[in-house]
């Protein structure tokens, strides 16, 4: 991993001696701190997360710490969990030269991509009236993912 000094350290399962319950609670504590207790802002507007709860945690939390196409069948992704602190840090550094930013239209939905190319991580926000919605965040380690993001970014320049 490479990146600027403002990028938080990874939160590793090995730091919790493989105790998944304790680990996921620690990962969730970072999510709560960054998005519930101290609401993030992007370009002057608040960044919101969904309040629908699954197993006592916001759906947005589960979405950014797991992967899969079917919501009910998503599986935890350690790479996403380890980088939970990066989501807020990248949003807070929108405009930093290390964070590539561009608008993206998905149907009628207006999204804002923040991609830290050097650290292989992207955050996706959706514009809503008066706020941003944290849509997802994910590692961009796969070559086809990086190529797709770079193509989108270049098309918006």
Residue 57 has pLDDT above 60, yes or no: yes
pLDDT for res 53? 75
Per residue in 72-108, pLDDT tens? 778 999 999 999 999 999 999 999 999 999 999 888 8
pLDDT for res 55? 80
- Domain range summary for the chain, segments of one domain joined by +: 13-156
Q: Edge-to-edge strands of the sheet including 109-116? A: 41-42, 45-48, 131-139, 121-128, 109-116, 100-106
- DSSP annotation of 112 reads E
């Amino acid at each position: 991993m490479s990146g600027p000094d403002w990028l938080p350290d990874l939160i590793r399962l090995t730091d919790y001696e493989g105790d998944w319950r304790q680990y996921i609670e620690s990962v969730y504590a970072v999510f709560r701190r960054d998005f519930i207790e101290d609401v993030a802002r992007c370009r002057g507007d608040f960044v919101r997360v969904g309040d629908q709860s699954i197993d006592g945690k916001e759906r947005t939390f589960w979405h950014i710490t797991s992967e899969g196409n079917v919501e009910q069948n998503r599986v935890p992704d350690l790479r996403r969990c380890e980088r939970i602190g990066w989501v807020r840090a990248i949003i807070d550094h929108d405009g930093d030269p290390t964070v590539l930013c561009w608008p993206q239209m998905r149907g009628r939905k207006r999204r804002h991509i923040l991609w830290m190319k050097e650290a292989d991580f992207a955050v996706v926000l959706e514009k809503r009236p008066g706020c941003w919605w944290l849509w997802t965040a994910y590692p961009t380690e796969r070559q086809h993912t990086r190529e797709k993001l770079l193509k989108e970014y270049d098309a918006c320049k």
